[in-house]
Amino acid sequence: MKLYRTKNGNFAEDGGKFFRVPETSWDLLVAHKDLRGYLRSVMKNGKPAADFAPARLEAPIGSQEVWAAGVTYYRSRSARMAEAKDAGGGDFYDHVYTAERPELFFKATANRVAGPGGSVRIRHDAKWSVPEPELTLLINPRGQIIGYTVGNDMSSRDIEGENPLYLPQAKVYDRSCALGPCILVSSDPLPKETEIRLEITRSGRGEFAGSTTLAELKRSPAALVAYLFRENLFPSGAFLMTGTGIVPPDDFSLAPGDTIRITIDLIGTLENTVVQ
């Protein structure tokens, strides 16, 4: 079952049929004591809606903060170690990959998040910008995973590599994050063979394509959530991006006009264009 946020209200979908959700507050849906049960009853008692409009999709976020985990895939560890080597920061990434405590960082507030079909930004003071396709968890205020979406943790690799202390500038800026197209409403862990795919096109031509699976994710989503909720309250719930396992080659940097498509099995495809 999927939950969509649109300019025209919230919709639940199952088996290709869409149902309008009477609850219009996204925050109340996220905080619901049984979101899945509530949406089931909406679908059981309602009629399929004729006014669901995919072109009017919005990012599936209300007042939730977006947080992110880093260096949770071996591919990310290697990329980070290489980019930070000259600054003497390479070892940090090796240590965090094997440490018990994960790397968690603040990523975005809702106003910084692009939705499906929207534009994501690259910084004008960055020379090396990449998308990071990440399985993203939706967590309710009680610390329970209630769904999954597709996330893009846009990153400035030259700024991050110059000095690990520049991480917040490499990661947090307007529209440095994209979420969507929907929430896969489920508390069950996704299968390890779930594939994450990234395609970047420039002027209509394929520029980069890569993929990974959740089998490569070193930490469990539940363990990441447990760390995030250790000393933080999230009255509206939170999103947690689980890290990237796909890194384009070092000579690749995003450019204005590029199209980024990220697909995660069972959830869907998030597409955004790049602006500067």
Residue of minimal Cβ distance to Mg ion? 153
Residue 71 interacts with which of Mg ion, ligand DO4, none, CB < 5 to 8 Å by class: ligand DO4
Using the rule CB under 5 A, is 83 a contact of Mg ion? no
Site for ligand DO4 in 115-174 (CB under 6 A): 132, 153, 167
* Contact map string, positions 241 to 260, toward ligand DO4, x by CB under 6 A: --xx----------------
Cα→Cα distances 173→69, 105, 108, 176, 266, Å:
17, 14, 8, 5, 29
CB nearer to ligand DO4: pick between 74 and 266: 74
Give the DSSP per-residue string, 233-263: --TT-EEEE--------TT----TT-EEEEE
Count CA atoms within 13 Å of residue 257 on its CB side.
6
Burial degree of 260 (CB within 10 A; 0-12, 13-18, 19+)? buried
Q: Alpha-carbon distance 182 to 58, whole Å?
A: 9
Query: Residue 103 binds which entry of Mg ion, ligand DO4, none, with Cβ cut-offs from 5 to 8 Å by kind?
Result: ligand DO4
- Residue appearing with tokens 């999709």: 57
Binders of Mg ion among residues 176 to 205 (CB under 5 A) are none
Residue 80 binds to ligand DO4 (criterion: CB under 6 A): yes
> Site residues (CB under 5 A) for Mg ion?
132, 153, 244
Binding site for ligand DO4 (CB under 6 A): 68, 70-71, 76, 80, 103, 132, 153, 167, 243-244
